[in-house]
Amino acid sequence: MTAPAATADFAPGRPVPLGAILGTYRHGAGDPTFHTTADVVWRATRTPEGPATVRLHREPAPTGDRVVAQAWGAGATWILEGLPELLGAADDPRTFEIQHDSLRHIAKEQRHWRIARSRLVLDSLIPAIIEQRVTGKQAFGAYRQLVRRHGAPAPGPTDAIAAIRLMLPPDVAGWRRIPSWEWLRAGVDGRRADTVQRVLQVAPRLEECASLPRENAWQRLRSVPGVGVWTAAETMQRAAGDADAVSFGDYHIAKDIGHALTGAPVNDEELERLLRPYAGHRYRVQFLVMSGRLGAPRHGPRLAIPTHLPG
């Protein structure tokens, strides 16, 4: 019998676009740890106090949305205590000033979006490592396969969890137990798999990055061989709600932001200069460009999906 859910709510006096705020934690349409419908988001994760499933339901109202959260599992209380931050309460966009006309329309459309802060570093760091240097289709497929094979059923109402096939990702010990051939079978090469293992060796120290001063957190993440600026940015955006964490090194980001702001693609060095007027809010620009599809049109052939399995 399923234990009763713990509950909490969040009513900030404004609309709360659940999908836009929490969509950053979804690693592809088939992510087993995430499920969404029109006004409901389910998410399963590992917290410092144990596994947790949270179900968030948005109740629209003229005076501002109310989000009702239900949570199950040993980590339920921990998740609910962080509900405001998860929904962007710690994010402050008031000093963000638009410098380019091309951003004004999408900024107005997304004026209620806030940067989520999960306070969970490995929860975002491991998927980011898996996503290094490959297409989204490859990365999402790899993460999905590894979670399905090595994760566990999420806590919560059995019928509902089974219906949406919600899964917990592996815990630290579970990730460590995955043999090398399982990483290869999922399409994760040895370089990325080795980086995951190095991260797992210092997992408690890395989890502290969510609450460290920004510079210290970045330094600690980057101290792990294989965790570069892109991986650190993708992690800090989600775990710490870092509004200035630009995904430098991404195949598309510099080109897309450059196209949106100047009409022409730029490289990372040029992007750094272009975003200087937005210091403190550079990730916000990245989000607006990507959510508004303001980047360069996609032409050319798709990248082939290679196999890493031995012949």
How confident is the chain (311 residues) per 10-residue block, as mean pLDDT? 89 96 97 94 98 97 94 98 98 97 97 98 98 95 98 96 97 98 97 98 98 98 98 98 98 96 97 98 98 84 42 28
How confident is the model at residue 72, as a pLDDT?
A: 98
287 three-class SS: helix
- Segment (H or E) for 59: strand 50-59
Closest by Cα among 37, 35, 33 to 51: 33
Burial class (CB in 10 A: 0-12, 13-18, 19+), 153: middle
How confident is the model at residue 309, as a pLDDT?
A: 34
Find where tokens 């370089």 sit: 191
CB 2 within 8 A of CB 72: yes
Backbone angles phi, psi at 278, to 5 degrees: -105, 20
Instruction: Give the tokens for residue 125.
Output: 């760091």
How confident is the model at residue 299, as a pLDDT?
A: 65
Backbone angles phi, psi at 289, to 5 degrees: -65, -45
CB 118 within 8 A of CB 144: no
CA distance 231 to 190: 17
How confident is the model at residue 210, as a pLDDT?
A: 97
CATH number belonging to the domain at 6-92, selected among 2.40.10, 3.30.450, 3.40.190, 3.30.530: 3.30.530
How confident is the model at residue 301, as a pLDDT?
A: 47
How confident is the model at residue 306, as a pLDDT?
A: 43
How confident is the model at residue 8, as a pLDDT?
A: 98
Q: Please report, as a single letter, which amino acid is at residue 107.
A: A
pLDDT in tens, 62-84: 889 999 999 999 999 999 999 99
- What pTM value is reported for the model? 0.94
How confident is the model at residue 1, as a pLDDT?
A: 65
How confident is the model at residue 81, as a pLDDT?
A: 98
- Any idea where the domains of the chain sit in the sequence? 6-92
